[in-house]
Amino acid sequence: MRYRAPGADALIATDLDHFTALFHRTSGITHLLASPAPEILATLTTPMTLDELMAALVRDYALADPDRAALSARLDELIASGLVSPA
């Protein structure tokens, strides 16, 4: 399965201390995200499999302890919130 995020022009992100406030233009819904959700959305510029996404995150954010199950859980949460969809 591949995962797809909205394009950059569909999201407005603003950092608020340890969180990122995100406005999703398509739905008009505001989200308050904690890491690694903003990083996942920023990395999913094209549809990716779980392994491709993990590799990109390890490369871009120097993940010390990559956890495939945790990333899958975070993706499920983002799908539930409407910010990520299965491609």
Partner 1 sequence: MKHALSVRIGPVGFRIGSDWRAPIEQLTDLYRDYPTAPIADYTVRLFASRAWRRWVRPSVTIGGDYMLPEAAPLPLSQGLLAAEMAMNLQLALGHRRHLLLHASVVERDGRALLMTGESGAGKSTLATLLAAHGWRFMGDEFALLDGETGQIHAFPRLISLKGTSVAAATSAWPDGRFGPLLAGTPKGDIRHLVPPVDAIARMDEPAIPALLLFPRHGFAADTREVPASEAFVRLTQASTNYVALGEAGFAALTGLVRAIPARAIDYPDGATAIRQVEELWART
Please report whether residue 12 would count as binding partner 1 according to CB under 8 A: yes
Please report whether residue 62 would count as binding partner 1 according to CB under 8 A: no
Residue of 64, 70, 79 lying closest to 36 (CA atoms): 70
And the tokens for 4? 């797809």
Please, what is the minimum distance in Å from the beta carbon of residue 52 to partner 1?
31
Tell me the C-alpha distance between 55 and 30, whole Å: 29
Please report whether residue 32 would count as binding partner 1 according to CB under 8 A: yes
Q: Which residues bind partner 1 (CB under 8 A)?
A: 12, 14, 16-19, 21, 23, 25, 28, 30, 32
